[in-house]
Structure 1
Amino acid sequence: MSLKVIAVPAQTENPIGNVVIMHGWGANAPDAAAFATAMQLSNINLLMPEGPFQHPYSIEGRMWYGLPEPLEAFSFADDISAKPELKQSRQLLLEFIQSLPTQTGIPLERTIVGGFSQGGAMTIDVGLDLPLAGLMVLSGYLHKSLEQITAQTQDILVVHGQQDPVVPITASTMAQAALTKSGAIVEYHAFANMGHEIAWGVIEQMQNFIQKRLN
């Protein structure tokens, strides 16, 4: 099995980096492409991998792994790192990201990986083990304790809405604390009037984060 990927090549002859964006639970690669292209990164390759599993309630929806039913029963503090679907998605994402230097001619050190919600959780899960230019965690959460992990990727953007009814903001504050303890430098932003969404202010924070690390 390999991941379906939407690729939006840079509009310039010599791209300066890659940005990988992962969608959340029930969304898909076109959804991720919609907000990735809104960043208007003309000199950067954009790559949007799609979760390998069909979402149970949406014909076009995808997921990186299933969640309990009802969803309210899921605690974002649970350790789900050994979940079989998660392990499969983790391996597929690692293989995809590690193939990018060969596919694009751009090293991992000039590649940023990010994701929204479940995609944000996958970003932390996979990205810490790779020497990337940075990670962007949007309304995300941890899959497990990071007590024994040392982050290879040092620069991490964490953004969350204070009114998020799906993934509580406590999930991102826990992630911020654990990532900082792992040795990463975390840039944290909480948006007072934002729910489980990507507001324009988040796009601006992503633009700034990417430009600082790739320009």
Structure 2
Amino acid sequence: MSTSTIRKYSASVIFFHGSGDTGQNLLEWVRFLLGRDFNLAHVKIIYPTAPMQKYTPLNGQLSTVWFDRRSVNIAALESKKSMSQCYDIVHQLIQNEVDHGIPLNRIIVGGFSMGGALALHTCYHLNTGLAGVFAHSSFLNRKSVVYESLENQKAPTNTLPELLMLHGERDTLVPLEWGLETFESLQKLGIVGTFTPLKNTLHELKKRSLLDLEDWILKKLPPLSMDISNKL
């Protein structure tokens, strides 16, 4: 194998967008706020797009959403059928990275709003062997299957992926209280992490939160010796 075919990345981040958005729009949002891409040369950032499907909160109109919801409310019940369908997409995204030589413990999943909820399902219900999870402006329903999975978790809680949650203090679509309740519920089930309230922030990404996220990813997925040698 020639040196030109050496794998460029040693880690991956899958960043799920919010409801009604696309992966490309999320990428452009990040670039607009930072004035650049994430400064993580050894990490592949993946921005997938959700399938177009009927979304109940929009009176059944078609939208790019990861799963359907009865309503945008922490007290609503999850649609297990819709969730199970999006799990297939998640499994394939993760398997694609594994097939390209990225181990599970070098993969982080995260997302904004609905994408953050999907990331929490991914990391604590589908695959607890990942490197970490972040959720920005997100929440889990009170009777989420994620809590059920963690209650039945046989692995030691100190082996579960670390969590980073960020949430705007002025978010009116997904109130800060929903995010905090989700974080505290996960903490009670053994999840270790950080909840960061964002001042003067609505339901949105901010440059400051993206910089914090960038730092956190770098701590969880530091360059390996092969990444450093490839730069020399």
- Structure 1 residue 108 and structure 2 residue 110: aligned? no
What is the CA–CA distance in structure 2 between the aligned matches of 1:211 and 1:101, rounded to whole Å?
20
- Structure 1 residue 89 and structure 2 residue 86: aligned? yes
Counterpart among 96, 119, 139 of residue 137 in structure 2 = 139
Partner of 2:161: 154
- Structure 1 residue 168 and structure 2 residue 175: aligned? yes
User: Is the CA contact (8 Å cut-off) linking 1:123 and 1:135 kept in structure 2?
Assistant: yes
Residues 32 and 60 (structure 1), Cα distance of their counterparts in 2 relative to 1, 3 Å cut: farther
Counterpart among 189, 196, 199 of residue 189 in structure 1 = 196
What is the CA–CA distance in structure 1 between the aligned matches of 2:38 and 2:92, rounded to whole Å?
26
Q: Return the offset for 1:142.
A: 0.7
Partner of 1:80: 78
What is the CA–CA distance in structure 2 between the aligned matches of 1:180 and 1:202, rounded to whole Å?
21
CA deviation string 1:47-106 (max 9, x = no partner): 11211224767x9951112344xxxx5322323051x2222012221232133211x211
Q: Which amino acid aligns with 1:24?
A: G
What's the RMSD between the two structures over aligned residues?
2.4
Highest CA radius of gyration, 1 or 2? Answer: 2
Partner of 1:20: 14
* Matched residue SS, 2:44: strand
Q: Which amino acid aligns with 2:64?
A: R
Q: Which amino acid aligns with 1:78?
A: A
Return the structure number with greater helix share: 2
Q: Identify the range of structure 1 (193-202 vs 12-21) with the bigger mean alpha-carbon deviation.
A: 12-21
TM-score by length of 1: 0.82
User: Is the CA contact (8 Å cut-off) linking 2:106 and 2:221 kept in structure 1?
Assistant: yes
What is the CA–CA distance in structure 1 between the aligned matches of 2:148 and 2:114, rounded to whole Å?
21
Could you tell me which runs of 5 or more consecutive residues in structure 2 were left unpaired when the two chains were aligned: 1-5, 223-232
CA deviation string 1:186-206 (max 9, x = no partner): 111001210000001110111
* Matched residue SS, 2:217: helix
User: Is the CA contact (8 Å cut-off) linking 2:68 and 2:79 kept in structure 1?
Assistant: no
Q: Which amino acid aligns with 1:189?
A: T
Q: Identify the range of structure 1 (93-102 vs 127-136) with the bigger mean alpha-carbon deviation.
A: 93-102
* Matched residue SS, 2:14: strand
TM-score by length of 2: 0.76
* Matched residue SS, 1:49: coil
